Amino acid sequence: MLHIMAEYPNRVSRKGLNNSMNRDLRNLRYLEEIDGVPLMFRPLIGVTMGREKSQRFFGLNLFIMNQTYVRTLEALGALPVMIPLHMSEATLRGIFERLDGLFLPGGEDIDPANYGADRHEMLGATDKERDRTELLLTRWAIESGMPVLGVCRGAQMINVACGGTLYQDILSERPDLAKHDYFPPHFERYRISHRIDIAPDSLLAHAMGWVHEVNSMHHQGIDRLGFGLRVVAWAEDGLPEAIEAPSLPYVVGVQWHPEELARTDQMSANLFYDFVRAAAGPWRNQTPPEWPALFRSACIARNETTEKAPSPVRFTPSNRV
């Protein structure tokens, strides 16, 4: 289990922390404790869950979560709280109002109805209730300026929530691209699959530098970019690997699985650290920019009519920054 001490300048006492810790995120030290950060000051991070029918417990419907996400967030100083499905919108809003940050994990494919497309024959399993829950939470977070980190499906959800679209199956829709679906059990989850190039002026570069090697476990990918978003990392074949919302304090989506690498890779740990630090920061005191076209662009993605909605941008190599 990863244990890295998180620092919250001007929020907590330095008592119990390693005073020699370098504030440069790339020089964080691995420590054995996080108790030096009082629980009352650690940010509350909402983590959305999946669900499945249990074979072990007599067909009960269970909410599920990859423990690695939760352990990594906790180790970096967050207080993770699981967000179940099937909540009413009012209940979900009540949970949301108590959060300091939103984490969107990997999981099933996103139903293409959410971005106005027909189902592709290679589309995998979907969960409409999870889609509904995550779309609501993501749009609320973007409107309020709450820090958001999305991994794999989570990055795709950020794009869809902002009116973007997805490749439902990279292999069949873009056969010119490299293999990205290195799924277990045929491959280890921490298997390094390819290199990514990162925009130097991005939040992601602050955590991971300009070039990094990552794992890859996805058969879907970002096609048309959502409103207000920017591609900030690319695979060697040009496929978008990370997105950000430049006008907001912290909205980052990455296509790979940094939680599987963070135990041994400092840069992957830095990504989670930056997110937790942003959630612990003063974002509530900042006025987020108005995004009047956010829901209009989402309506366009659902084939509804509206005036003056921005056209999502299809990624091409010439779009690279």
pLDDT tens-digit series, residues 50-84:
766 556 656 667 666 778 889 999 988 899 999 99
Average pLDDT of every residue of the chain = 76
- pTM of the predicted model as reported, rounded to 2 decimal places: 0.77
The predicted structure's pLDDT at residue 316: 38
The predicted structure's pLDDT at residue 26: 34
Q: Would you say 148 and 251 are in contact if contact means Cβ atoms under 8 Å apart?
A: yes
114 has pLDDT over 90: yes
Beta strands at 224-225 and 313-314: parallel, antiparallel or unpaired = antiparallel
Does the N-terminal peptide bond of residue 240 adopt cis geometry, omega within 30 degrees of 0?
Answer: no
pLDDT, one tens digit per residue, over 121-140 is 777 788 999 999 999 999 99
The predicted structure's pLDDT at residue 203: 96
Is 16 inside any structural domain?
no
∠ at Cα 101 (273, 29), nearest 5°?
Answer: 10
The predicted structure's pLDDT at residue 177: 63
Mean pLDDT (whole number) for 265-284: 90
CA distance 71 to 50: 17
169 has pLDDT over 80: yes
Is 8 inside any structural domain?
no
313: domain CATH number is 3.40.50.880
Structural domain including 309 reads 25-319
H or E stretch including 296? helix 294-301
Total domains, the chain:
1
Is 9 inside any structural domain?
no
Contacts for 284 with CB less than 8 Å, ≥ 6 apart: 145
Is 261 inside any structural domain?
yes
